[in-house]
Amino acid sequence: MLPRDPLIGYPDLPDDERVARVQAFEALMRTRRTVRDFAPTPVPRAVIESAIRTAASAPNGANKQPWSFVAVSDPVLKRRIREAAEAEERAFYGGRAPQAWLDALAPIGTDAEKPFLEVAPWLIAVFGVAHGVTPDGGVDKHYYVQESVGIAVGMLLCTLHAASLATLTHTPSPMNFLRDALGRPERERAFVLIVTGHPAVDATVPRLTKKPLEDVAAFIEAG
Ligand SMILES: Cc1cc2nc3c(=O)[nH]c(=O)nc-3n(C[C@H](O)[C@H](O)[C@H](O)COP(=O)(O)O)c2cc1C
């Protein structure tokens, strides 16, 4: 058993203040969009470091923290990632993807061209780590890797949005090339590639709607 600490960070708020805070956060998060047009404006590494620290504080299975984040701003490596991603995406759009998947993507207007992989100042590759390594070289089992990494990526996206940076959740299909391109060990599996930076001044996004609360939530209350 670990030693125990008092809980900090939960001030007792009046409920109207609680509602005001949650609605302010909702308003902020509802302006988040997936952006595919970036400006080349640099973003300080300190911003990316802090965002990754926030993501890496996420809840996770048995606190094994089964993730790694590789932040790339090197233009040579970004170009290599773009070339590899576009090769996969050309195969995907050119026949590997089932027609139903292509039909679902058509309104969003994506294609195999990924210029943002070179234009955006930062690419953050997120890996799920299947297991750790014990000091004697054994396997340290990880639990709920997918769920844990998914929550961490959600926190990463929220944090970057709070810093007024645009994000694109990119999943070139398949993504195995990222492990080799970034020199990661076999036990790591690419989960997602987060592209981030300033949006282009003339960036546009598809006019999407989100399902209303009653379509996605149910409330079962006393009485
Ligand atoms: C797991 C996941 C994978 C995605 N992969 C891609 C992708 O490879 N390329 C892309 O342009 N958008 C990708 N997206 C972005 C979605 O298309 C986008 O989130 C969706 O259309 C909703 O738009 P919004 O994020 O602006 O609300 C992905 C999103 C998620 C959550």
Best residue among 30, 32, 33, 34 to mutate for probing ligand 1's pocket (most ligand atoms within 8 Å of CB) is: 34
Per-residue pLDDT band for 173 (boundaries 50, 70, 90) equals confident
Tokens at 187, concatenated: 């036990």
**What is the pLDDT, as a whole number, of residue 156?**
99
Q: Is the dihedral of CA 43, 49, 50, 56 positive or negative?
A: positive
Rounded average pLDDT over 44-72: 98
Residue nearest to atom 19 of ligand 1 (CA): 34
For ligand 1, atom 25, the nearest C-alpha belongs to 34
H/E stretch holding 43: none
Is 149 within 8 Å of 126 (Cβ atoms)? yes
Task: Give residue 197's region: left, alpha or beta (phi > 0; psi -120 to 50).
Answer: left
**CA 64/CA 81 separation, integer angstroms:** 29
For the segment 18-29, the average pLDDT, to the nearest whole number, is 98
**What mean pLDDT is reported for the chain?**
97
* Region at 65 (left for phi over 0; alpha for psi -120 to 50; beta for the rest): left
Residue 59 CA, ligand 1 centroid: distance in Å = 23
Ligand 1 is surrounded, with C-beta below 6 A, by 33-34, 36, 108, 110, 169-171, 205, 208
Q: What is the pLDDT of residue 85?
A: 96
Q: How many A from CA of 16 to the centre of ligand 1?
A: 34
Residue 110 CA, closest ligand 1 atom number: 11
Distance 148 CA to ligand 1 centre (A): 19
**pTM of structure:** 0.97
174-211 per-position pLDDT tens digit: 899 999 999 999 999 999 999 999 999 999 999 999 99
Of 39-43, 65-69, 94-98, 213-217, the poorest mean pLDDT is in 94-98
Amino acid 81: pLDDT: 97
Hey, whose CA ends up nearest to atom 22 of ligand 1?
Answer: 34
Split at pLDDT 50, 70, 90, the class of 54 is: very high
Model pLDDT for residues 111-167, shown as the tens digit of each residue: 999 999 999 999 999 999 999 999 999 999 999 999 999 999 999 999 999 999 999
Cα-to-centroid distance, 68 and ligand 1 (Å):
21
